[in-house]
A and B are shown apart, each in its own frame.
Chain A
Amino acid sequence: MSAIDAGAIVTVNPVRSEGYWSSVGRRLVRDPVAMLALALILLIVLAAIFAPYIAPADPFRGSMVRRLRPIGTPGYPLGTDELGRDLLSRLIYGGRLSLFMGVTPVLLAFMVGSSIGIFAAYVGGWVNTVVMRVIDVFFAFPSVLLAIALSGALGAGILNSIVSLTVVFVPQIARIAESVTTQTRNRDFVEAARISGARTLTIVRVHVLGNVLGPIFVYATSLISVSMILSSGLSFLGLGVKPPEPEWGLMLNTLRTAIYSQPLVAALPGAMIFITSISFNLFSDGLRGAMEVRQ
């Protein structure tokens, strides 16, 4: 205390401990499954971004004479589709829309759903009850059905399917956000902050968000695969992307007529959806494991 008696502000530089997120990162790097999944995701994302430089052919240019060539045809390593377009190029370009439609609704729902859930839980009381009962109404519908119904009502198109998928995910994320926030707000350190006279917004910013956003984010990453599959499903049903745009779900749809003549080629878009969504799921699992070591 004597150092302070002089009146000058003396701050020693303390030994810094490793922050929470850097320790999560360190544990995540040690998880081989999560790292493999991350590598696959990065590969697919980079391929989609740099599609014009990587794709061997124009994904829109077809030819009636070389339709449905098998895998391994010279010049067409993964064969051609029902209109004679190069399948490898279409898969690379298709990643753009498929990833976009997988990630965007989850990102939007993460923002909206966390806000609703954190608000409801922090305010508590009857506000919480009302908000969560309204959220419960959405759980009455199976998510696939809800997505199809909303897309159908709004009309086909990329934007509309993103909106409908966002609406499907908001209740799920809000539910998680509400339960995590309720747990956190009842802990003593939030009470201690309250009795120190802090305003509600300050408490939420400093003491609540840091403890709840991580778990909500992990849950949201596990929804990316669901979102990809649902958006592919919407495209398959003709409610999402329209031809001739390459998108994995739509490609699966248009190639289904070739399922007997070229089954391997017809299955490739489905394989891409599978690999991408399982990578997101495995990465999300790894993230959860790395974050759960301690609170």
Chain B
Amino acid sequence: MSKVSVANDPRDRGGAGTPLLDVRGLVKHFGGKGGLFGRSGSVVRAVDGIDFSVAKGETLGIVGESGCGKSTTARLVMQIIKPDAGDILFDGEAVGSAALDLKAFRRQVQMVFQDSYASLNPRLTVEDTVAFGPRIHGASTAASIAKAHDLLHSVGLEPRRFAGRYPHEISGGQRQRVNIARALSLDPRLLILDEAVSALDKSVEAQVLNLLLDLKRDFGLTYMFITHDLNVVRFMSDRIMVMYLGKVVEVGPSEPIFEKPGHPYTAALLSSMPSVDPDNLTEEAPLTGDPPNPINPPSGCRFHPRCRMASTLCSHAEPELAEASPQHLAACHLVGPQSGHPRLAAA
């Protein structure tokens, strides 16, 4: 297995300028179908019209509180659940089109789940789990097992010790390494990591994050890294997308977002990170309360009930994504110069 880089990947179709993943107008609402026994009316707007793209070779970090639609977005991209609306383009081709059928797509996009135990079949040994993918895509048993051992080695698990083990016999960090090896077994180009390190303790988390950085380099991968941990996302990501109640509120390169966030929600999230600097302690709780119910999201800007900057404009007009700095977009009336937000006029 020679090292693959993003630049010389033979599977590249669209060229370096085409994003590896391009998502447009993605919508998913849950519930609402009035069945025979009720359950009618309430619609959860899990993902409510989002656009984003992931460039080849980059890591896009997706952050947000619980229930903001991060995991739903991952499942929609993976085609585990069907979107209500929207297009997903992979390397310039629509998923499910003649040029890129679902099976071909799935060989190129894989996912690592949060729960390392639930995502491994308790009846299969580690090597059988990792070899399953190559096996069903037509590799011989011997070749699949050899590939599994190779991958176990790559994720830092000595095949001689671990290949014959069952999931309950190994630790959480080791299980997550097995999950990563399983995801890599189909030679994907895009890896979606859905809270992949959130359940691990801090020292193991750091090891797995470093492993992910090494694998990204060695296998020429592109990552979609979903987490609620801001330190992790800063360490891992080239670009960051912040979600709130099914909407993208801010997206852009890592550094500008961390240095000068464009959206008050992002600013609040960042200031909620515990500070270790005694001269710069967090004095007041930047965000209070839970996110509003996605069944009935607030009108206008969805963040306005919790926002310190909110004005009457925010409660009835929904802000569009506007450029806060180059390539850095935020959906806030304070960013668009013509929005008419009173604080802009005062400034």
Contact = CB atoms under 8 A, between A and B. Distances in A.
B175 to A, nearest CB: 11
B125 A197 contact: no
A206 interface: yes
B160 A211 contact: no
A11 B145 contact: yes
Given A14-B159, A196-B132, A188 B115 contact: yes
Interface stretch (B8-16, B146-154, B247-255, B258-266): B146-154
Nearest to A13: B160
Given A10-B146, A12-B149, A187 B118 contact: yes
Contacts of A10: 146, 149
Interface string A170-207: 00000000000000000111011111111100100011
Nearest to B119: A188
A73 interface: no
A9 interface: yes
A244 to B, nearest CB: 50
B146 A17 contact: no
A3 B120 CA distance: 27
B136 interface: yes
B163 A14 contact: yes
B98 interface: no
Given A192-B113, A196-B110, A196-B132, A14 B118 contact: no
A135 B103 CA distance: 36
Given A14-B161, A17-B165, A197 B123 contact: no
A188 B196 CA distance: 13
Contacts of A20: 122-123, 166
Interface in A69-94: none
Given A14-B160, A189-B118, A191-B80, A210 B123 contact: yes
Contacts of A13: 160
Contacts of A15: 160-161, 164-165
Interface size classification for chain A: 20 to 34
Nearest to B107: A197
Contact of A193 (B78, B132, B164): B132
30 contacts: A3-B150, A4-B1, A11-B142, A11-B145, A12-B149, A12-B160, A14-B161, A14-B163, A14-B164, A15-B160, A17-B165, A188-B115, A189-B118, A189-B129, A192-B179, A192-B182, A195-B78, A195-B109, A196-B110, A196-B182, A197-B106, A197-B107, A198-B132, A206-B124, A207-B124, A211-B122, A211-B123, A294-B122, A295-B122, A295-B168
Interface of B: 1-2, 78-80, 102-103, 106-107, 109-111, 113, 115, 118-125, 127, 129, 132-133, 136-137, 142-143, 145-146, 149-150, 153-154, 159-166, 168-169, 179, 182, 185-186
Given A12-B159, A188-B113, A191-B119, 8 more contacts: A9-B146, A11-B149, A12-B149, A16-B164, A196-B182, A196-B186, A199-B136, A211-B122
10 shortest interchain CB distances as A-B pairs: A14-B163, A188-B119, A210-B123, A14-B164, A16-B164, A197-B106, A196-B133, A188-B118, A9-B146, A189-B121
